[in-house]
Structure 1
Amino acid sequence: MKKIAFLLLANLVFIFHLGAQNNKAENPIIYADVPDASMVRVGDTYYMSSTTMHMSPGLPIMKSKDLVNWELINYAYDVLGHNDELDLENGKSMYGRGSWASCLRYHNGKFYLSTFSATTGKTHIFITENLEKGAWKKIEFKPSYHDHSMFFDDDGKIYIIWAAGKLNIAELKDDLSGVKEGTEKVLIENASAPAGNNIMLGAEGSQLFKVSGKYYLFNITWPRGGMRTVIIHRADHINGPWEGKVGLQDLGVAQGGLIDTPEGKWFSYLFKDNGGVGRIPYLVPVEWVNDWPVLGEHGKVPETLDLPKSKGLIPCIVNSDSFERKKNERDLPLVWQWNHNPNNSLWSVRERKGFLRLKTGRIDTLFVQAKNTLTQRTIGPESKGATLLDVSNMKDGDVSGLCLLQKQYGFIAVKMENSVKKIIMVSAATGSEKELKSIPLKQNQVYLKAECDFRNQKDTGRFYYSLDGKTWESIGEAIKLPYTLPHFMGYRFGLFNYATKQIGGFVDFDYFNISDKISE
C-alpha cells in the first residue's frame, strides 16, 4: 500500500513539474526571421525593431507586454528611397541589401529609430512620439554608418558608434542631421580581441547601454573554426578606457543587447542563424556579478525561460488574409511586405470585393525581377501557406502563383502559353529557373499550397495543387531551402503575377491561409 501511495505521489510531482515547465516560455521566442533586434522598455511595454532589408514597407516595429508574445504594430517607412535597386528596375535589385540593423531608443518622450543602407548610401533616422500611430519625422544624411548604435547620454550629448573590428565613435549634431565635425575618433582599436586573434568576422552590431553609471557595449564576433560570439566591453566613461570579455559562446546565439523588466529582472536579446527559416530571436537570463552582465545559465542558452508561454506567431507576426476589407480598414495588414518598392497602380484589394488583384505592367523574364510579389514570413518548425487563384484574365505568357522566396526559390504557378493554361512547378535550386513539372489546367480556378519543414534544420519545401479544394496532389519534387547571403533573409511565402510576353493581364487571389502544421 505504501509503495502504491509513493508511486502516486511521485506521479503527481512529475505531472506538476511537467505542467510548470509547459507554462514557461521556450527558446527561440520567435521561430521566424526577426534578426538584428533592438529593444527598449517604456513602462510595462517592450518595443522591438528588426531588419527586413529589401522588403517594403521596411524597418518593422513590434510590441510586447511579456518579452515573449510580440505583435507587429508599424513600420518606420513605406519606401526607403528610389533608385533602380530599390525600385527593381533595369535588371537591378536590392536583395540582401536595403536597410540593415536598426537602433531603437526612447528619450524625453520620443522614440528614435535609426538604420543605415548601402543601397542609398545614407544613415536614416525616424522620430515619433507614438510608435503605433504617430507621424514620423525623417532625417537622413551621408555616409551610411555600418551597424551603428545611437546613444543619448545623461549630459545631453548624443553619440553614434559604428563599424566592425575597429569601432568608431562621434557626436551627433543636436538636430541629428549628421556628425559634429572634429568629434570622430576610434573608440576601441580591436573590439574582437577578447575572442582571440583568429577572427573571421570583426566585432560589429554595436549596441550601447548605460547601467548604474557604467557603459556596456555589446558586439558580435566570429572566431574561425568557432561560432558566433557575444563580446561585451565595459567602461566608466564613454571615451574609455574599455575592458572587454566574451559574454556568451553557445549555439551561435549572439548579437543583441540588454533589457530589464519592471520587476528588476534582466535579459539579453540575441539571435541565431537557423537555416532556411532565417535568423531567429532568443532570450537569455542575465545576472549581474561584479558589475558585469553574466549571460545564460552556466554559460549556456536555456531551453526554457521564467516568462509566460508563447501563444504562437499567428496572428501577430504572420496571419491568414481573406482580402475582405471594410471601408476604413488599411488595404494590407502589417504582416504583408512587398519584395521591393511596389507599383501601387498594379494591385488592389478594392476592385473585386474579397480578392487581391495583381496586374501586369511590364515584361519580365525572371521571377525574382518581377515587381509586386506580396510576401509573409515562413515560420518554424513547420508551416504552410495556401491560396485560391482565379486565372480567368491572364494573357499569353503570364505566370502567377505561390512561391517560397529566397535566392534558391521555388514556386507553383499557372502559366498561360499559346492560349493554353497549365500548372507548373519551378525550382531555382541550381541557380537558374527550371520547370520541373507541368500539368494541363482546364478550369479558371485552382488551389495552390506550399509547405516548409524546418524541423531539425531539414529545410525542405513542397508544392501542391487541388482542383476542388479537397483533394491535394503533390507536384514536382521537394526543394531544399538553404539560407543564402545574397538574399540574407529567411524564406518567404509570396503571391505573384508577372508577364513574359504582353502586359494588361491580371489575376485574383481569393485568400491566403497560413498554418503552423504541415501534412507530412
Structure 2
Amino acid sequence: MKFLFTAFLAMILGIAAAQPMQYRNPILSGFYPDPSICRAGDDYYLVNSTFVYFPGLPIFHSKDLVNWKQIGHALDRPEQLKLDGAGVSAGLYAPSITYHNGKFYLVCTNVSDIGNFVITADHPAGPWSNPVSLPNMPGIDPSIFFDDNGDGYIVWNSDPPDNKALYEGHRAIRMMRFDEKKLTVTGEHKILVNGGTDLSKKPIWIEGPHLYKKDGWYYLMAAEGGTEFNHSEVIFRSRNVDGPYVPYERNPILTQRHLDPNRSNQVTSTGHADLVETKDGKWYAVFLGCRPYDDDHYNTGRETFMAPVQWKDGWPHILEGDQAVQLFYPVPFPQTTVSVKNPYSNPVQFTDDFNNKKLDFRYIFLRTPREQWYSLTEKPGELMMNLRPETVSGKAQPAFIGFRQQSANCLASTRLKFTAKSPNEKAGIVLFQNETHHYFLCISVDAGKPVVQLFKSSADSLVMLEQGPIPGGAAELSVKVNGPTISFRYKNGKDWKELNTIADARFLSTHTAGGFVGAIIGLYGSSMGQKTSSKVYFQQVSYSDLSKQ
C-alpha cells in the first residue's frame, strides 16, 4: 500500500513538474495599443501609443519578455508634447523604438502638432530629448531600421503614388535614408509597397511597417485591413533594402478575422505587430488585439499581446490557419524565469493611498498640463485637486487624473473629501471613453444639501440619471463593470448603498463610441465652466480585476 501511494505521489509530482511555466496574454492589459519592442543586450524595452494622454509613450522594461515593469514615459515634459485642443483619438500615434550603437531612438507621429518626429536617449528610462521634426515625410507610423553596415532608414505609412488614391483606404509604404547624427531624413521617397499584398484586390490601410534583416533577406512587415475586426499582419521580403519586396504567398501571418465569432476567450482585431529576436535566437511577436465581451464590444481598447514566432522556408509565422491567439504560452526562458508576476497582465489589482511624492506611472492626464493644479504634498496621504472650469466634454485640460480599465469585469473605488459650494461644483469618479461618451458619479450640492449624482454624457451636455442625499464630508464612490453593465455605489458611514441605475457599458465601447482609445477611470473634479477656489481631496483609490479566469 505504501508503495502504491509513493508511486501515485511520484506520478502527480512528475506531471506537475512536466507542466511548463506559462505567461498570460495580454502582457499589457487595457489601453496599450500599437506595441513596438527592441532588445539591448539582455534587456527588452517596449513602447505604446497614448494619443491625447500625457505623459506620452510609456516605456516598459523586461529581462525575460514576461515580467514587465514601467520605467517611465518618453514624453514626460510639457515642452516635449503639445496636445492642446486635440480630440481624444488625436495626438500621438504608433511609436517605434530602436537600439543602435549604444543609443535608443524613438520615432512617432503627433498628428495634432509636428507630425513625424524622432527623439533619442542613452537609456529608455530617460531623459529623452526634445522632439526633432521630420517634415519631409508626411504620413504616420514611422519606424527606424539600421543595416549591418550602419546605414539608417525610416519606413512609414504614406499617401499612394502621386497622392492619387484608387479606392478608400489605398495607402503605401515609403522609405527614406535616416541620418542618425543629424536626426533627419535624406534622399528621395522610395515606395516599397503600393496598396498592400495584392493591389488588384484593393487592400486597405497598409500601415505600421517595420524592417528586419535575417539570413541575407530584408523583411518588411506591416499591418493590413484596418485596425478593427479585419485587422491582419502581412510580410514581404527582398534581397535589397530598397526592394522590390515580394509578398509571402501565405499572407497574412497573423489575423483572427476568419474565426468563429462565438468561440470562447476570443481575441479579435490582431495586427500592428513588431518582432524581436532573443539572444539565443528565438523570435517573438508583440501585437495589438482586443477582447470583446459582447458582439465586438470592448471597453479595454486595443491591448498588447505576445506570441512565439516560427521561421519556415524563410518566412516568419505567428499564427497559421485556424490557430487562435492563446491566453497562455510557455515562457521564453524557462531556465531563468523563476515566476511570472506581471502587474500589467490580468488579474490587475492595486490600491493607492497617495503616500508618495510623485504619481505612479500608471496615471495619465487628458492633454498636456500647463498649470500645477494638483498636489501630493499639500496634505501627505491625499491627492489634492483644484476644481477647474474645464470639463472632460471639452478639448482643454480638466482636473482629471486617470488610469486604464484593464478588464471587462472590474471594480474601481475612491475615498474623497469634498464639500461643494454650488451645484456647478462636482467631484468624483468618471468612466471616460471620449468627450461624448462617459459616465460621471460625483458628489455635489442641490438646494443647499449634499447629494450624490450620476450623469451620462450626450453630444452637447450631461444628462442626470439619478440623484440622492448623502451626508457631507468624506465619502466613498464605487463603480463595478460587469461586461455590458455598470453598477454604482456610494458610502458615507458603514454601509454601501446601491444606486438604482444599471448603466449600459457598451456606451463606452470602441464599437459604439468610435476612436482608437480604451476606457479610462478618472479621478475628476469640475466647476462646470465657472471659476472657483474649491478643492477635492482623494484619500485612496483602488482597482480590482473581477474576471473569473
Task: Pick the TM interval, shorter chain.
Answer: 0.7 to 0.9
| Pairing 1:491–2:519 present | yes
Residue 544 (structure 2) aligned to one of 506, 515, 519: 515
- Once the two structures are superposed, the pairs formed by residues 99-248 of structure 1 within 5 Å of their partners are 99-134=92-127, 136=129, 138-142=131-135, 144-163=138-157, 165-180=171-186, 182-193=187-198, 197-199=201-203, 201-222=204-225, 227-245=230-248, 246=251, 247-248=253-254
What is the DSSP-based 3-state SS (H/G/I as helix, E as strand, rest coil) of the residue aligned with 2:269? coil
Residue 86 (structure 1) aligned to one of 80, 83, 86: 83
- Once the two structures are superposed, the pairs formed by residues 33-432 of structure 1 within 5 Å of their partners are 33-79=31-77, 86-87=83-84, 92-134=85-127, 136=129, 138-142=131-135, 144-163=138-157, 165-180=171-186, 182-193=187-198, 197-199=201-203, 201-222=204-225, 227-245=230-248, 246=251, 247-250=253-256, 251-274=268-291, 275-296=298-319, 300=323, 301-307=325-331, 310-313=340-343, 319-325=350-356, 329=357, 331-362=358-389, 364=391, 366=393, 371-392=398-419, 394-407=421-434, 408-428=437-457
Per the TM alignment, residue 393 of structure 1 is displaced from its structure 2 partner at its CA by: 6.1
- Once the two structures are superposed, the pairs formed by residues 463-478 of structure 1 within 5 Å of their partners are 463-468=488-493, 470-478=495-503
Q: For the structure 1 residues 435 and 261, does the alpha-carbon distance in structure 2 shift closer, same or farther, using more than 3 Å as the test?
A: same
- TM norm structure 2: 0.82
Q: For the structure 1 residues 82 and 171, does the alpha-carbon distance in structure 2 shift closer, same or farther, using more than 3 Å as the test?
A: closer
Separation in 1 of the partners of 2:462 and 2:139?
Answer: 36
- Per-residue CA deviations over 1:283-341 (Å, capped at 9, x if unaligned) read 2221111221122366623343111664243699874321113xxx4x21211110111
Per the TM alignment, residue 130 of structure 1 is displaced from its structure 2 partner at its CA by: 1.2
Per the TM alignment, residue 48 of structure 1 is displaced from its structure 2 partner at its CA by: 0.1
Separation in 1 of the partners of 2:503 and 2:19?
Answer: 36
Higher mean displacement: 482-491 or 107-116: 482-491
Identical columns (%): 24
Per the TM alignment, residue 363 of structure 1 is displaced from its structure 2 partner at its CA by: 5.5
- Per-residue CA deviations over 1:387-421 (Å, capped at 9, x if unaligned) read 11101365551111101110321121012345432
What is the DSSP-based 3-state SS (H/G/I as helix, E as strand, rest coil) of the residue aligned with 1:406? strand
Higher mean displacement: 465-474 or 347-356: 465-474
Task: Tell me the number of residue pairs that the alignment of Structure 1 and Structure 2 aligns.
Answer: 500
Separation in 1 of the partners of 2:543 and 2:229?
Answer: 37
8 Å contact kept, 1:412–1:448: yes
Higher mean displacement: 171-180 or 377-386: 171-180
- Per-residue CA deviations over 1:124-167 (Å, capped at 9, x if unaligned) read 21211111244535422325541111112223322111115321
Per the TM alignment, residue 463 of structure 1 is displaced from its structure 2 partner at its CA by: 2.1
What is the DSSP-based 3-state SS (H/G/I as helix, E as strand, rest coil) of the residue aligned with 1:276? coil
- Per-residue CA deviations over 1:231-274 (Å, capped at 9, x if unaligned) read 00111111112111211233432111211223322111111133
What is the DSSP-based 3-state SS (H/G/I as helix, E as strand, rest coil) of the residue aligned with 1:335? coil
What is the DSSP-based 3-state SS (H/G/I as helix, E as strand, rest coil) of the residue aligned with 2:399? coil
Amino acid at match of 1:292: W
What is the DSSP-based 3-state SS (H/G/I as helix, E as strand, rest coil) of the residue aligned with 1:345? coil
Per the TM alignment, residue 441 of structure 1 is displaced from its structure 2 partner at its CA by: 2.1
8 Å contact kept, 1:424–1:439: yes
Per the TM alignment, residue 29 of structure 1 is displaced from its structure 2 partner at its CA by: 2.5
What is the DSSP-based 3-state SS (H/G/I as helix, E as strand, rest coil) of the residue aligned with 2:91? coil
What is the DSSP-based 3-state SS (H/G/I as helix, E as strand, rest coil) of the residue aligned with 2:83? helix
Q: For the structure 1 residues 96 and 438, does the alpha-carbon distance in structure 2 shift closer, same or farther, using more than 3 Å as the test?
A: same
Query: Residue in 1 aligned with 2:162?
Result: none
Separation in 1 of the partners of 2:126 and 2:180?
Answer: 25
Higher mean displacement: 19-28 or 116-125: 19-28
Query: Residue in 2 aligned with 1:27?
Result: 25
8 Å contact kept, 1:386–1:514: yes
What is the DSSP-based 3-state SS (H/G/I as helix, E as strand, rest coil) of the residue aligned with 1:202? coil
Please list every run of 5 or more consecutive structure 1 residues that lacks an aligned counterpart in the other structure: none
Separation in 2 of the partners of 1:357 and 1:229?
Answer: 45
Separation in 2 of the partners of 1:148 and 1:33?
Answer: 21
Per the TM alignment, residue 197 of structure 1 is displaced from its structure 2 partner at its CA by: 0.9
Per the TM alignment, residue 78 of structure 1 is displaced from its structure 2 partner at its CA by: 2.2
8 Å contact kept, 1:102–1:113: yes
Query: Residue in 2 aligned with 1:506?
Result: 535
Higher mean displacement: 56-65 or 132-141: 132-141
What is the DSSP-based 3-state SS (H/G/I as helix, E as strand, rest coil) of the residue aligned with 2:179? coil
- Per-residue CA deviations over 1:400-452 (Å, capped at 9, x if unaligned) read 11011103211210123454321011123788531100012222111011222
Separation in 2 of the partners of 1:284 and 1:469?
Answer: 47
Q: For the structure 1 residues 372 and 435, does the alpha-carbon distance in structure 2 shift closer, same or farther, using more than 3 Å as the test?
A: same
Query: Residue in 2 aligned with 1:482?
Result: 509
Separation in 2 of the partners of 1:224 and 1:124?
Answer: 23
Separation in 2 of the partners of 1:117 and 1:139?
Answer: 12
Q: For the structure 1 residues 313 and 451, does the alpha-carbon distance in structure 2 shift closer, same or farther, using more than 3 Å as the test?
A: farther
Separation in 1 of the partners of 2:284 and 2:25?
Answer: 13
- Per-residue CA deviations over 1:79-127 (Å, capped at 9, x if unaligned) read 56699x823xxxx433101111001000000111111111003222121
Separation in 2 of the partners of 1:46 and 1:236?
Answer: 28
Per the TM alignment, residue 185 of structure 1 is displaced from its structure 2 partner at its CA by: 2.1
Higher mean displacement: 412-421 or 229-238: 412-421
Separation in 2 of the partners of 1:23 and 1:212?
Answer: 31
